[in-house]
A and B are shown apart, each in its own frame.
Chain A
Amino acid sequence: MITFMNNSDSEEEPCNERTSLMSAESPPVPSYQDGLQASQAGEVQAHRKRRTGSSRSPNNIADGDMSDSGVPVRESTLENEEEELTLKYGAKHVIMLFVPVTLCMIVVVATIKSVRFYTEKNGQLIYTPFSEDTPSVGQRLLNSVLNTIIMISVIVVMTVFLVLLYKYRCYKFIHGWLILSSLMLLFLFTYIYLGEVLKTYNVAMDYPTLFLIIWNFGAVGMICIHWKGPLQLQQAYLIMISALMALVFIKYLPEWSAWVILGAISIYDLMAVLCPKGPLRMLVETAQERNEPIFPALIYSSAMMWTVGMAKPDTAAGGPSQQTWDAAEDGRENNRSPSHADSQMLETRSPAPTRPITSFEELEEEERGVKLGLGDFIFYSVLVGKAAATASGDWNTTLACFVAILIGLCLTLLLLAVFKKALPALPISITFGLVFYFSTDNLVRPFMDTLASHQLYI
């Protein structure tokens, strides 16, 4: 299943930035998976979250509104043959998405387990004004529901705002927003994160060294995400950004609110992408109509895309490099360099059978990577991180949630291959994750504990 991303929508930004629009790259409509995510920034400015879609999306840190937009994945519908090949390479693409999601989750869980800062409750985001320290259960529930409503409405507003901006071609504004947001994310949050990690391990570091490190990290990150850079480096940066955002969320969202928000986000994602009037869907369609490239900062892509006007054959090592040529007449911008895609992650692409590299505007589907919005990354990691932080069954629950999310991702990609249009990446995985979390925590844990204490094995 190849999910293309033509439009990546919405990133979540804690601030008012909304980064979800991505223009379609090439005529074939890639399918995006839009995961709209709204992330709220804490006291800091809004971060942009990336939705799960495959495209790079810079995280912008806005003033506290985060809207994650999942990027709907669209698959170009070419001939059947290509479709079959698409499906055939589907497994590879699934793995290409598995690995980054797994990495992100591992980073988040490792941090949660070791650094105590992220599990202390030091206040809440302004988007969740109701505290959960109330004595009665009903009150707490009510507060969490209210928090959720506020957060979701913030996300909706941000997404609609972004769609409007995109519709009226205020590209500069969007770009500026994205850049600001990713700047904030890369520098401020990394600083906080590094500080906490150093504190935990009792490592001394002087300010000049710290400044140098963070400056280098941030500058390279900005370049990688917004401009060009090696694919793996870019992916690594995106993963780190998603992990940072997820950590912020885990820290600043009160417990019950977090779960209710996760549930509500997946419902919203479902609606925003599939309903004809949904903002994300409009975003994707608009972008596709205009055949514009997607904003680089919102989506994680497993294949490289160079926004270049030239068509150079990419015959890099490994698999066949198939590129999409920018047709002069269309002014399409995105080129994929399959060779980069080949050199990434797990496998090199198996050589595509006798596919001539033409200079037509056809995109080879299998050369396109799958795209997942960064917001999806963030929410998956939030779920697993929360499970690691708050579950009393510890690792079992975390593991169960992890497997559940991966299976949900598999299923979503399968549906993507079947339906060939933009799909929300959040609902299925989050549902599975939530179900497994609650059931493992309450049902499986006593069972396993008793078994372990008697050293019985099933």
Chain B
Amino acid sequence: PALGLFLFTIARDPLRIIILIAGAFFWLVSLLLSSLIWFIAVKASNPLDEPLQKGLLIFGVMFSVLLQEAFRFLYYKLLRKAIEGLVALSEDGCSPISIQQMAYVAGVGFGLMSGAFSMINLLADTLGPGTVGIHGDSQLYFLTSAFMTMVLIFLHTFWGILFFHGCEHQHWWEITAVIVMHLAVSGLTFCNPLYMGSLVPSYLLMATAATWAYLLSGGSAQNLQRFLLCKS
């Protein structure tokens, strides 16, 4: 689905593609920094201590979430500057791309990158021989991973929109809500492999974020109805 999003909405406009790739890049850098921190922490600690490792992992995850949001903010700043540049350059005085579109694209960029990083090694392994969950782990590993990745990509997209909107209008509470949601989703994944605990709330959160973003973008129930019923 994320790929479909990409193809239909982003591939048309080169500017969006650039923003997308830059968004992916920013996410990558944030991942790099967070893994650096985690790596240092692991090296500095006792590798045999299991709970400590788990705790460090949790710490790493949280820290990474915070870093991701920080980078999203940085990216927002960069895009603001870019918009001013684009407005100056364009002929009719208005930017070829609005900040909301940018928010959307940035969110997709983040999401795609995070999804890709989460899934791609998994996918490569699925090509090879093997049985899922042979050691007593859940047999639904791949399925749940796929769903989780998808929900995460969508969430990133929506968070992008919400985040940028919050920054635009100085609604700090929106920004904190996004951060809290991100932390919550990551935290929920700690319940794995108790899939009930992680997938369902994640989807609920995603639905919430989706409606929120939709409303923010100017949609309304009427628009939705018109769209669904194919009225002109």
Contacts and interface: CB of A to CB of B under 8 A. Distances in A.
Interface in B174-219: 185-186, 189-190, 192-193
Contacts of B22: 407, 410
Contacts of B11: 346
A458 B65 contact: yes
B129 to A, nearest CB: 17
Contacts of A95: 14, 17-18
Interface in A402-433: 403-404, 406-407, 410
B35 A443 contact: yes
Contacts of A175: none
Contacts of A443: 32, 35-36, 39
Interface string B138-156: 0001001100110010000
A267 B31 CA distance: 28
B70 interface: no
A439 B32 contact: yes
Nearest to A446: B39
B25 A451 contact: no
B31 A444 contact: yes
A456 B61 contact: yes
A84 interface: yes
Nearest to B12: A347
B28 A403 contact: yes
A336 interface: no
Contacts of A395: 120-121, 124
B14 A92 contact: yes
Size category of the A interface is 35 or more
B113 interface: yes
Interface in B15-36: 15, 17-18, 21-22, 24-25, 28, 31-32, 34-36
Contacts of A396: 117, 120-121
A395 B124 CA distance: 8
A448 B117 contact: yes
Given A98-B17, A443-B39, A456-B192, A394 B124 contact: yes
B18 A91 contact: yes
Contact of A91 (B15, B91, B144): B15
Nearest to B29: A436
A165 B21 CA distance: 41
A283 interface: no
A330 B152 CA distance: 60
B201 to A, nearest CB: 13
B158 to A, nearest CB: 16
A88 B90 contact: yes
B17 A456 contact: no
Given A455-B144, A458-B65, A447 B192 contact: no
A375 B109 CA distance: 29
B157 interface: no
Contacts of B32: 436, 439-440, 443-444
B132 interface: no
Contact of A456 (B18, B28, B57, B122): B57
B189 A456 contact: yes
A348 to B, nearest CB: 11
B61 A458 contact: yes
A393 B31 CA distance: 15
Interface string A153-170: 000000000000000000
Interface string A327-338: 000000000000
Given A410-B22, A454-B57, A346 B38 contact: no
A214 B75 CA distance: 49
Contacts of A452: 118, 121-122
Interface in A221-277: none
Contacts of B5: none
Contacts of A92: 14
A439 B32 CA distance: 7
B102 to A, nearest CB: 13
Nearest to A445: B35
Contacts of A98: 17, 21
B160 interface: no
A394 B123 CA distance: 12
A407 B28 CA distance: 12
A80 to B, nearest CB: 11
A87 interface: yes
B89 A456 contact: no
Nearest to B57: A450
B89 A457 contact: no
A114 to B, nearest CB: 11
A1 B186 CA distance: 41
B35 A447 contact: yes
Contacts of A87: 89
B114 interface: yes
Interface in A186-233: none
A279 B145 CA distance: 53
A294 interface: no
Interface in B88-103: 89-91
A447 B64 CA distance: 11
A443 B28 CA distance: 12
A399 interface: yes
B196 to A, nearest CB: 14
B224 interface: no
A444 B32 CA distance: 6
A179 interface: no
Nearest to A456: B189
Interface string B47-89: 0000000000100110011001000000000000000000001
Given A403-B24, A443-B35, A94 B192 contact: no
B39 A403 contact: no
22 contacts: A84-B89, A91-B15, A92-B14, A94-B18, A95-B17, A95-B18, A346-B14, A399-B117, A403-B113, A407-B21, A410-B21, A436-B32, A439-B36, A443-B35, A443-B39, A446-B42, A447-B60, A455-B144, A455-B145, A456-B189, A457-B149, A458-B31
Q: Which 5 residue pairs of A and B lie closest in terms of their CB atoms, listed nearest first?
A: A95-B14, A447-B35, A455-B192, A91-B14, A395-B120
Given A410-B22, A436-B32, A458-B68, 4 more contacts: A396-B117, A404-B25, A451-B118, A452-B121
